[in-house]
Amino acid sequence: MHLVQQILFIILAAAAIYIFAKKVREMRRNILLGRDEDLNDNKGQRWKNMILLALGQKKMFKRPVPAILHLFVYAGFVIINAEILEIFLDGTLGMHRLFAPMLGGLYAFLIGFFEILAALVLIGCAIFLVRRNVLKVKRLNMKELNGWPREDANLILITEIILMALFLTMNTADQSLQKLGAEHYTPTCPFWITSNFTGMFAGLSAGTLVAIERSCWWLHIIGVFAFLNYLPYSKHFHILLAFPNAYYSKLMPQGEVKNMPEIQNEVLYMMEPDKAPPAPAEPAEHKNFGAKDVTDLSWKNLLDAYSCTECGRCTSVCPANLTGKKLSPRKIMMDTRDRLEEVGKNINANKEFKPDGKQLINDYITVEELRACTTCQACVEECPVMIDPLSIIMQLRRSLVMDDSNAPQEWNLMFGNIENNMAPWKFSPDDRDAWVNG
């Protein structure tokens, strides 16, 4: 019987790891469809950002209550998964609590600590469900979350509650079997939480307890493998991507915008024609200014899209959104990710990208949304994992203005004044200086 369970476990584990790795490779390929961008400078600051922002969740604590709850869920879930190593080895080797004889009293201490974390995760997830579905916190119930995004959030919270409940029930049954002296159930010191609940199984036979313990063990590990393969299809993949995203976040001062060398050179050549290079023998192929689709964005923009937690902190501080305009920085990131996934599926089906007549602008993100942005940086400042929606908005807006000549009349008047008068106002430099003469 143990041999059959070993074989089943090895097959299950191998299949789960293979499917997960295959999807992660696809996501990596999708991210690398973006333009190249060198973000390898100042490694010391980048490591500091990763430790403080991704691991330490520094920005989360601007809102203490959800931050503490999130810390319980995040820390608990990550640390508890350290026990997966023992479960994995037990399943592979056909053992039970492999590390218990090696660690002695320390083993019970560790499991007890994991049990406290499991209880905190369970409580935290329950409160998050109430916040979303009963209290209906505004930023968690906006229209861009209708449908799958809302179901995804609820499903992942319910899954975590079930996994923690299985873990605690498994340990309770295990403690009861230890008291009965059941074969294969290594005696340990009492676990901190579950040893107090063995009374719920009082009167049950050893066979029934073994069935409960084994069922919870199998359901727990199957749930973990299922969760692993669900992550890449969920916003909760930020659990992994928050680390590289924080590492590669921009180190420029807030408000500094990346200029386009091509445009700077055009202005330079207009002002100083002698510095212009010789005209090429053949006209160069037109290069897009800004971005129309996901492949025109940088790989970091696409990593941002996959890293989005859909928490809505960016949208909740966006002045355009707060005044009733259609712009939602969270929706910008969700639309970018949806379009990138669509492009990836196109490549999977055709071995290469086959034009589908769609693009990010208009088909996913409207001109009205892009024009509403005030470039105030509030969304960038608020994001706990250093996502930069403004970078995407700016590149899409550049494409509208510079490639499509699509700008409001007020903007065009300003552009004309800058071109003719070197300033946004309809006065020449001489007229603007006339005030000094009284």
pLDDT of residue 309: 92
Q: What mean pLDDT do residues 397-421 have?
A: 87
277 class by beta-carbon count within 10 Å (0-12 exposed, 13-18 middle, 19+ buried): exposed
Type of residue found at 168: L
Q: Model confidence over 11-28: pLDDT tens digits? A: 999 999 999 999 999 999
Q: What mean pLDDT do residues 244-261 have?
A: 87
Q: What mean pLDDT do residues 86-99 have?
A: 89
Q: Model confidence over 277-308: pLDDT tens digits? A: 776 666 556 577 889 999 999 999 999 999 99
Q: What mean pLDDT do residues 160-171 have?
A: 94
Secondary structure in 3-state letters for the chain: CHHHHHHHHHHHHHHHHHHHHHHHHHHHHHHCCCECCCCCCCHHHHHHHHHHHHHCCHHHHHCHHHHHHHHHHHHHHHHHCCHHHHHHHHHHHCCCCCCHHHHCHHHHHHHHHHHHHHHHHHHHHHHHHHHHHCCCCHHHCCHHHCCHHHHHHHHHHHHHHHHHHHHHHHHHHHHHHHHHCCCCCCCCCCCCCHHHCHHHHCCCCHHHHHHHHHHHHHHHHHHHHHHHHHHHHCHHHHHHHHHHHHHCCCCCCCCCCCCCHHHHHHHHHHHCHHHCCCCCCCCCCCCCCCCCCHHHCEHHHHHHHHHCCCCCHHHHCCHHHHCCCCCCHHHHHHHHHHHHHHHHHHHHHHCCCCCCCCCHHHHCECHHHHHHCCCCCHHHHHCCCCCCHHHHHHHHHHHHHHHCCCCCHHHHHHHHHHHHHCCCCCCCHHHHCHHHHC
The Cα–Cα gap between 221 and 291 comes to 44
Q: Model confidence over 132-157: pLDDT tens digits? A: 999 999 999 999 999 999 999 999 99
Type of residue found at 44: G
Q: What mean pLDDT do residues 337-366 have?
A: 96
What is the model's pTM?
0.88
Can you list the domains of the chain with their CATH numbers?
Answer: 2-31+63-247 (1.20.950), 288-406 (1.10.1060)
The Cα–Cα gap between 60 and 52 comes to 11
* Confidence at 237, pLDDT banded by 50, 70, 90: very high
pLDDT of residue 286: 59
pLDDT of residue 284: 58
Residue 365: beta bridge partners?
361
Query: Of 108 and 287, which is predicted with more confidence?
Result: 108
pLDDT of residue 269: 76
pLDDT of residue 186: 84
Percent of the chain past pLDDT 90, that is, above it, reads: 67
pLDDT of residue 258: 80
Residue 298: beta bridge partners?
35
Q: What mean pLDDT do residues 355-367 have?
A: 95
Type of residue found at 98: L
Lowest-confidence range among 6-10, 163-167, 180-184?
180-184
**Phi and psi torsions of 288, nearest 5°:** -60, 140
Residue 266 pLDDT greater than 80, yes or no: no
Top mean pLDDT of 170-184, 328-342, 398-412 is at 328-342
Query: Average model confidence (pLDDT) for the chain?
Result: 90
The Cα–Cα gap between 16 and 87 comes to 15
pLDDT of residue 33: 97
Residue 264 pLDDT greater than 60, yes or no: yes
Lowest-confidence range among 79-83, 100-104, 405-409?
79-83
* Confidence at 78, pLDDT banded by 50, 70, 90: confident
The answer to whether the CB of 384 falls within 8 A of the CB of 57 is yes
Q: What mean pLDDT do residues 398-408 have?
A: 90
Q: What mean pLDDT do residues 207-227 have?
A: 94
Token pair 């002698």 in the structure block, residue: 274
The Cα–Cα gap between 375 and 320 comes to 10
Spell 358-394 as b/e; 16+ CB within 10 A means b.
ebbbeebbebebbbbbeeeebbbebbbbbbbbbbbbb
